[in-house]
């Protein structure tokens, strides 16, 4: 299980983690931001552009846009439910749009390969595709490329992929290629890997760089795992729903695995 620390798609989490690791710096001090990420993050952002780029972002569309997510994080210095609401976004729209225009997203094959390595034991490619003719597999790839235009593979991308394979390899993917899909041992060992590298160029010429592979709250994060983040979110957001005492009762029920937990979840503040 993984718990998202921020309101947004899981594919933006490591970008926000990296930004916050850098401070984040005040938005007024930032000249440009380059986010390097894997194919899933790039594909998500590409699919969001038709919605997020043509009008003021909403609490929904901002969830899938790297430029708008970066802009909110820099302007507010954080990313919480307080910022992801229509009133806050409308009030800060001009400043957010200015910052978002300075943000670019680039695909990095080495980061995509890290995700493939992490997913391979869960979804072994050879086992999943066994018995499927090569022609059908290629047709599926072509359909995917037509429907998801986040990554366009050119000569430069091919060279980058070869370089990433040579430098990092796909050891885990290869070793797990013929395993059992969703094997219990693979689930127990799974690390939710959606890498992002953030390069912030400041107006004074300095460049700040941070990189995160596994988001806070992600399975396999040894520093800030799902349990820690779920408790953070319950502590921060629970009182608005269940009141302070009701939230404390929930924490106690969770810790003791009390039979009345579901009843407490259905009891709003004041009751």
68 and 28 co-located in one domain: yes
Adjacent-strand bridge partners of 103: 33
Contacts of 178 (CB under 8 A, 6+ apart): 124, 126, 127
Q: What is the pLDDT of residue 56?
A: 78
**Which pLDDT score is estimated for 172?**
52
Do 147 and 25 sit in the same domain of this protein? yes
Residues 253 and 154 in one domain: no
95 with 184, same domain: the answer is: yes
| Structural domain boundaries enclosing 251 | 226-265
Distance CA 210, CA 122 (A): 28
In this structure, the answer to whether residues 130 and 232 fall within a common structural domain is no
Would 270 be classed as within a structural domain?
A: no
Task: Out of 19-28, 46-55, 187-196, pick the least confident.
Answer: 46-55
Q: What average pLDDT does the segment 85-102 reach?
A: 95
Mean pLDDT of 226-232: 95
Whole-model pTM above 0.75?
Answer: yes
**122 falls in which pLDDT band (50, 70, 90)?**
confident
Residues 252, 153 share a domain: no
Q: What is the DSSP secondary-structure string of 59-109?
A: TTGGGG-HHHHHHHHHHHSS--TTTSSHHHHHHTHHHHHHHHTTEEEEE-H
Same domain, 117 and 184: yes
């Amino acid at each position: 299980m993984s718990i998202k620390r921020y309101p947004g798609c899981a594919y933006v989490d490591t970008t926000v983690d990296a930004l916050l690791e850098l401070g984040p710096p005040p938005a007024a001090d930032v000249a440009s931001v380059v986010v390097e990420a894997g194919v899933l993050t790039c594909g998500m952002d590409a699919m969001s552009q038709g919605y997020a780029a043509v009008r003021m972002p909403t609490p929904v569309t901002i969830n899938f846009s790297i430029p708008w997510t970066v802009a909110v994080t820099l302007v507010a210095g954080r990313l919480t439910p307080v910022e992801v609401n229509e009133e806050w976004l409308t009030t800060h729209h001009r400043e957010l749009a200015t910052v978002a225009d300075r943000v670019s997203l680039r695909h990095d094959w080495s980061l995509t390969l890290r995700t493939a390595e992490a997913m391979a034991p869960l979804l072994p490619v050879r086992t999943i595709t066994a018995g499927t003719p090569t022609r059908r597999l290629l047709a599926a790839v072509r359909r995917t490329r037509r429907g998801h235009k986040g990554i366009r593979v050119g000569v430069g991308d091919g060279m980058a992929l070869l370089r990433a394979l040579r430098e990092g390899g796909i050891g885990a993917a290869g070793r797990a290629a013929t395993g059992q899909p969703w094997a219990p041992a693979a689930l127990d060992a799974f690390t939710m890997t959606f890498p992002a590298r953030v390069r912030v160029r400041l107006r004074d010429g300095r460049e700040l760089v941070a990189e995160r592979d596994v988001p806070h709250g992600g399975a396999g994060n040894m520093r800030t795992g799902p349990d820690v983040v779920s408790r953070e979110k319950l502590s921060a957001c629970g009182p608005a729903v269940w009141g302070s005492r009701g939230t404390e009762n929930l924490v106690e029920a969770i810790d003791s695995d009390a039979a009345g937990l579901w009843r407490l979840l259905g009891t709003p503040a004041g009751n």
